[in-house]
Structure 1
Amino acid sequence: MSFNELRLEDKQQAYAELKEIKSVLAARGWFPGTSGNLSVRVGGFDPAQFAFAITASGKDKSVHTPSDYLLVDGTGRPIETTGLKPSAETLIHCEIYRLTGAGAIFHVHTVFNNLVSELFWERGSVPVDGVELIKAFNIWEEEAHIDIPILPNYADIPRIAKLVEGAIQPRIPGILLRKHGIYAWGANAFEAKRHLEAFEFLFEYVYRWELLKK
């Protein structure tokens, strides 16, 4: 795919998908203080050359403006002339797209994903045993066990990006950053949203269950 071949309708569709999901997640309070970022792959699934639409940096995601999104290439650089800056964490999206072939990646900050990332930091992953919502990841074994990986939250984003490949697990479409938030992805925006919602349910469940055990 040449970036010159990106169709206007592909870009508009990606922006429309981002606007819709942004509205839903903002209503849940998952973007406090302009935090979080969303992206959708645009125009193809070539792992060597791809583009994606991503939320612009520093925007209030509870409102909509004509400058909420921009297109970037597989290295995170804008592919159109723009005064907008991509999210500071765009490099993490680049790595996830490159390694998984995902169609959408959603990143949010919530109290529960922050709490469990700290609670299980020394373990390196959040354990979940036998909870029904594990099935949202197409894991169908009875009493399935999963471990959701946790990475350090360095101020230097390229340091985090270098760790993504070693953290990705084929069955788990998500990575937590310690005291930061979850990156969840899927084949498309619908699937990424389903995965994100499942992760957030599981994080709250695990945290509350840990409290009840004490």
Structure 2
Amino acid sequence: MHTFSEQAQGVIELARFASDKGWLPATSGNLSILVERNPLLFAITRSGADKQRLTEQDVLLVDADMQVQGESSYRPSAETTVHVALYDKLSCGSILHVHTVYNNLISELFARQGYVEIAHHELLKALGHWEEDASVRIPIVPNWADLHQLGQAVADAAKPDVPAVLVRAHGVYAFGDTPDAARRHLEAVEFLCEYVYRLELIRNAGFVSP
């Protein structure tokens, strides 16, 4: 098992990657990497941190009760509740939450049916689906103001074979067994959200048949 310091550096690398993509605007989002499974301990970005200029002091070691371990004047994001719920349910080793225009648009467009279905696309392989007729449904949950309710909703919707959950008009939680897997899943889902949105536009304009 890796040390907290090693995992904190991993969080910083993930934050730089997502920031360079423009996926963490205005200090938004939160990123975590598992340190210990039992008892649960994980490294997570602090509340209000600028993810483009993250330092090790901006990454906190947090337990299952959202209590910061060690000395720090910072507090974890209130959305740490979602990370706890996902770590409790799944065997994931990293969770990435970002806010982008495309994942927000897709979550609004398909909110009523509760999922966006994506089929027959090459990038589904990045989510672990290699079948020729592969199809996935990425769940969409309401953006509950009660963050414990939000955490429970995301965890209830999350499935190991579809490693992402959209929160309506908010963002996406992507996860994986390792930080690299979580990053790959996030990048694939972001591409697919943009693809589906642009496809909807040209279909509605009559250029592509349904």
Query: How far apart, in 2, do the equivalents of 1:193 and 1:86 lie?
Result: 21
Larger deviation, residues 81-90 vs 175-184: 81-90
Corresponding residue SS for 1:106: strand
Tell me if structure 1 keeps the 8 A contact 2:33–2:94: yes
Corresponding residue SS for 2:189: helix
Corresponding residue SS for 2:51: coil
What letter matches 1:55 in structure 2?
T
Could you say which residue in structure 2 is the equivalent of 1:16? 9
Structure 1 gaps, min length 5: 1-6
Could you say which residue in structure 2 is the equivalent of 1:168? 158
Could you say which residue in structure 2 is the equivalent of 1:25? 18
Corresponding residue SS for 1:92: helix
Could you say which residue in structure 2 is the equivalent of 1:37? 30
Tell me if structure 1 keeps the 8 A contact 2:41–2:61: yes
Identity %: 44
Could you say which residue in structure 2 is the equivalent of 1:58? 48
Q: How does 1:1-214 map to 2 (within 5 A)?
A: 10-42=3-35, 44-46=36-38, 49-214=39-204
CA shift in 2, pair 1:66/1:51, >3 Å:
closer
Query: How far apart, in 1, do the equivalents of 2:43 and 2:55 lie?
Result: 15
What letter matches 2:146 in structure 1?
D
Tell me if structure 1 keeps the 8 A contact 2:8–2:56: no
Corresponding residue SS for 1:77: coil
Corresponding residue SS for 1:62: helix
Q: CA deviation at 1:179?
A: 0.5
Tell me if structure 1 keeps the 8 A contact 2:9–2:56: no
Query: How far apart, in 2, do the equivalents of 1:65 and 1:10 lie?
Result: 16
Q: CA deviation at 1:77?
A: 1.5
Alpha-carbon RMSD across the aligned residues, in angstroms, is: 1.3
What letter matches 1:85 in structure 2?
R
Query: How far apart, in 1, do the equivalents of 2:160 and 2:84 lie?
Result: 17
Query: How far apart, in 1, do the equivalents of 2:63 and 2:192 lie?
Result: 33
What letter matches 1:178 in structure 2?
R
Query: How far apart, in 2, do the equivalents of 1:64 and 1:164 lie?
Result: 26
After TM superposition, the score normalised by the length of structure 1 is: 0.91
Q: CA deviation at 1:66?
A: 4.4
Q: CA deviation at 1:11?
A: 1.1
- 1:119-173 per-position Cα deviation (integer Å, ceiling 9, x unaligned): 0000100110111111111111112111000111022211112223321223101
**Runs of 4+ more than 6 Å apart:** none
- 1:74-132 per-position Cα deviation (integer Å, ceiling 9, x unaligned): 22221223211101100000010110121000010000000000000001001101111
After TM superposition, the score normalised by the length of structure 2 is: 0.93
Corresponding residue SS for 1:67: helix
Tell me if structure 1 keeps the 8 A contact 2:12–2:56: no
Could you say which residue in structure 2 is the equivalent of 1:3? none
